[in-house]
Amino acid sequence: MDDYRTHVEINLGAIRRNAETIKTFTGKRLIAVVKADAYGHGVGPVAKTLRGVANMFAVATVEEGIKLRQAGIQKPILVLFSSLPEQASQVVEHGLVPTIGDSEFANRLNSAASNTVNIHVNINTGMNRSGVHWTEAVQFLSRLKTLDRLTVKGLFTHLATADEQDKSYVFVQIERFASVLEEIPNDVELVHVANSAATLTVPESHFSAVRPGLALYGIYPASERPITLEPALRWKTRIGWIGSLSDGEGVSYGLTYKAPHQTRVAMVQVGYGDGYPRALSNVGEVLIGGARRPIIGRVCMDVSVVRLEPTDSVSVGDEVVLIGKQGDTEITVDELAHRAGTISYEILTQIGTRVPRIFKH
Ligand SMILES: *Cc1c(COP(=O)(O)O)cnc(C)c1O
């Protein structure tokens, strides 16, 4: 038995197999998105696992890129969002591949560099949160040629609605992107558009590389499932206390749950301070002894309370599963997200630093 109050178990083999499955399915190069600590899975071990499969890694910020370099990753690292002008020298120093979305950063970078710097250019085709507007992209790219230290190695755009059933706006964005490609020399190494949803469901978006995040971790962004992915994360805790409520007695802050009759309860050692959503108060479920048991009352910062059945044979210290399988029963990230009124991405990235990541190879 492990010594953790709560921990997540990361199956690195599953992440590697998911990446291989995606590469085989698309037949394209793989830019593995490992931003936000690899969606909460732990970026160092995840990136090391994917070194042999991914052609490039992508992170959100310069700081995340530096962290990957410090973890010993030598593969190209794309920083997806425009960096601050003051970060140009860090980009150069750590050999990161910045995303260019405006001329100011391009100028700063060109001055900070003493050798060639590889860059990717982000074209805004309708996500409207970053990048050069698609109608100005051709001119922007030709002006970039005057900055002699910058080499455009990649062109990309990001889709706003790839996880929806209706793909019409996806095709509007792809056409805008393709209209830019038609006007420029065909010498850019990596042309990439597809996030996980488009990787799985829109082959027209694959171009020369795909750029999935969520799918690497074995989670589907939408209901379509053309390939089989394995969830890589299990979140566990343990029973910390067992008690009983008499008829009409309340539980936890605000006494929002009242026992309808004599009820056995267990405190489980996880709370919103660990990233277990407070929105699961009175609506969450956990697995104990292979069966679902409901969260009753409010989720606290450090602990939560669940209702036991009279026949449950449990002791303090027993394993409780919050995400993943226990016996034949499973709580998926999607189920938890749905119950908490959010999305799987948010559940994963909110799992706190207080929760150790334990890696299985
Ligand atoms: C986060 C992100 C991705 C990956 O998205 P998923 O839905 O997790 O596959 C790809 N591209 C950009 C620009 C992103 O910000």
What are the DSSP calls for 287-326, one per residue? EETTEEEEB-S---SS-EEEEPPTT----TT-EEEEEEEE
Amino acid 181: pLDDT:
98
Instruction: Tell me whether residue 115 is exposed, middle or buried, using C-beta atoms within 10 angstroms of its C-beta: 0 to 12, 13 to 18, 19 or more.
Output: exposed
Distance from Cα 274 to the centre of ligand 1, integer Å? 24
Asked whether the beta carbons of 286 and 293 are under 8 A apart, the reply is yes
Would you say the CB of residue 211 lies under 6 angstroms from ligand 1?
Answer: yes
Would you say the CB of residue 221 lies under 6 angstroms from ligand 1?
Answer: yes
Q: In whole angstroms, what is the distance from residue 77 CA to residue 208 CA? A: 17
What is the number of the ligand 1 atom nearest to the C-alpha of 214? 8
Q: Whose CA is nearest to atom 10 of ligand 1?
A: 195
pTM score, whole prediction:
0.97
Distance from Cα 229 to the centre of ligand 1, integer Å? 17
Show the DSSP H helices in the chain as ranges.
12-26, 35-39, 43-50, 62-70, 88-93, 103-112, 137-144, 168-182, 196-201, 333-340, 344-350
Distance from Cα 161 to the centre of ligand 1, integer Å? 12
Would you say the CB of residue 344 lies under 6 angstroms from ligand 1?
Answer: no
Q: State which of 59, 173, 211 you would mutate to test the pocket of ligand 1, scoring each by most atoms of that ligand within 8 A of its C-beta.
A: 211
Amino acid 308: pLDDT:
98
Q: In whole angstroms, what is the distance from residue 35 CA to residue 268 CA? A: 30
What is the number of the ligand 1 atom nearest to the C-alpha of 122? 13
Q: In whole angstroms, what is the distance from residue 287 CA to residue 268 CA? A: 11
- For residue 29, give the H/E element and its range: strand 29-33
Would you say the CB of residue 209 lies under 6 angstroms from ligand 1?
Answer: no
Would you say the CB of residue 213 lies under 6 angstroms from ligand 1?
Answer: yes
Cα distances (angstroms) measured from residue 185 to each of 82, 99, 188, 189, 351: 24, 19, 8, 11, 45
Would you say the CB of residue 42 lies under 6 angstroms from ligand 1?
Answer: no
pLDDT mean values, one per 10 residues, the chain (361 residues): 88 98 98 98 98 98 98 98 89 97 94 96 97 98 96 98 98 98 96 98 98 98 96 98 97 98 98 98 98 98 98 97 98 98 98 97 85
Would you say the CB of residue 33 lies under 6 angstroms from ligand 1?
Answer: yes
Q: Whose CA is nearest to atom 1 of ligand 1?
A: 213
Catalytic residues: 35, 253
Distance from Cα 154 to the centre of ligand 1, integer Å? 16
Q: In whole angstroms, what is the distance from residue 9 CA to residue 19 CA? A: 19
Would you say the CB of residue 195 lies under 6 angstroms from ligand 1?
Answer: yes
Amino acid 93: pLDDT:
96
